[in-house]
């Protein structure tokens, strides 16, 4: 008679987590190469997992790609948290995060296009950029920096600005992405109650280097 130990479920959970992580990494690799229509079999072979294992975690390729984008954006969001950790002004935290994210559209056009395609779903996610933007807006309201009656509606404005900015930058490759992003960030700050000159000054401050962690790998 075999005795079950408490370690058995832990090993099973770890194995499931490794399989899911391998699938997500594989999907991110396909996204980075622009292979948006890759068959599930190709994705699972690259991940070195079986087809049956795929359906234990995801119902479709689209669901896997959504998770891959969400986790890539969550990694980008974690990097933003790190880069903004020393900033005391929540209005500057919001502006710097928006300015760095706007530059992502040209740094990683594949991830950007997938974000645009799945943007409405991602805006309601509890991972990635959306919850961090909501947090930053609420912090700025709490500190008296933003004059916003409804942070939820403010988040809707920010989400729309993020997606529309990305679409514009793809449609107009000749446009300066940094200048366009900083102008939108400045407009958002003014809309949320900052004086014009202060909003402009905040959006002209030097940015820290974004690094490689914001891209799909």
pLDDT digits (tens, 9 = 90+) for 90-100: 999 999 999 99
On whether residue 121 sits in a domain, the answer given is yes
Per residue in 109-118, pLDDT (tens digit) is: 877 877 787 7
User: 78 and 55 in one domain?
Assistant: no
Helix, strand, coil shares of the chain as percentages rounded to 5? 70, 0, 30
CA distances (Å), origin 213, targets 15, 76, 83: 25, 6, 12
User: Angle, nearest 10°, between helix axes 109-117 and 61-83?
Assistant: 120
Which domain, by its residues, includes 160? Answer: 70-217
**C-alpha triplet 78, 83, 88: angle, nearest 5°:** 115
Residues 157 and 186 reside in one and the same domain: yes
When the pLDDT of each residue in the chain is averaged and rounded to a whole number, the result is 87
Burial (CB count within 10 angstroms: exposed 0-12, middle 13-18, buried 19+), residue 91: buried
Q: 171 and 202: one domain?
A: yes
In a domain, 2, yes or no: no
Eight-state DSSP code of residue 60: S
33 and 95 share one domain: no
Task: With respect to residue 64, please indicate whether it lies within any of the assigned structural domains.
Answer: no
pLDDT at 213: 46
Angstrom distances, CA of residue 189 to CA of 1, 111, 179, 182, 193: 68, 26, 15, 11, 6
Asked whether residue 198 is assigned to any structural domain, the reply reads yes
Number of domains, the chain: 2
Residue 49 counted as domain residue: yes
Are 19 and 48 part of one and the same domain? yes
The residue with greater pLDDT, 66 or 143, is 143
In the three-class reduction of DSSP (H, G, I as helix; E, B as strand; rest coil), residue 202 is classed as helix
Q: What is the pLDDT of residue 217?
A: 36
Is the same domain home to 91 and 171?
yes
CATH number at 162 reads 1.10.357.10
Can you give the pLDDT at residue 8? 63
In a domain, 3, yes or no: no
Which of 38-42, 101-105, 128-132, 168-172 bottoms out in mean pLDDT, i.e. has the lowest? 128-132
Q: Is residue 65 part of a domain?
A: no
User: Which token pair is 174?
Assistant: 């000749």
Where is pLDDT greater, at 98 or 7?
A: 98
Residue reference for tokens 């294992």: 53
12 and 87 in a single domain? The answer is no
């Amino acid at each position: 008679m075999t005795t079950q130990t408490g370690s058995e479920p832990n090993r099973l959970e770890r194995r499931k987590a490794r399989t899911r992580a391998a699938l997500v990494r594989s999907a991110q690799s396909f996204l980075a190469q622009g292979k948006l229509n890759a068959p599930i079999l190709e994705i699972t072979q690259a991940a070195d997992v079986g087809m049956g294992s795929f359906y234990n975690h995801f119902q479709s390729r689209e669901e896997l790609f959504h998770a891959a984008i969400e986790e890539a954006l969550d990694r980008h969001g974690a990097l933003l948290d790190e880069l903004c950790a020393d900033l005391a002004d929540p209005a500057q935290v919001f502006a710097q995060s928006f300015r760095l994210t706007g530059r992502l559209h040209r740094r990683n056009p594949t991830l950007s296009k997938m974000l645009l395609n799945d943007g409405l779903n991602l805006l309601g996610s509890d991972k990635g950029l959306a919850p961090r933007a909501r947090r930053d807006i609420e912090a700025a309201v709490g500190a008296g920096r933003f004059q916003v009656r409804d942070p939820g509606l403010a988040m809707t404005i920010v989400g729309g600005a993020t997606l529309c900015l990305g679409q514009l930058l793809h449609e107009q490759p000749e446009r300066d992405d940094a200048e366009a992003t900083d102008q939108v960030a400045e407009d958002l700050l003014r809309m949320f109650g900052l004086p014009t000159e202060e909003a402009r000054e905040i959006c002209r401050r030097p940015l820290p280097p974004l690094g490689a962690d914001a891209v799909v790998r």
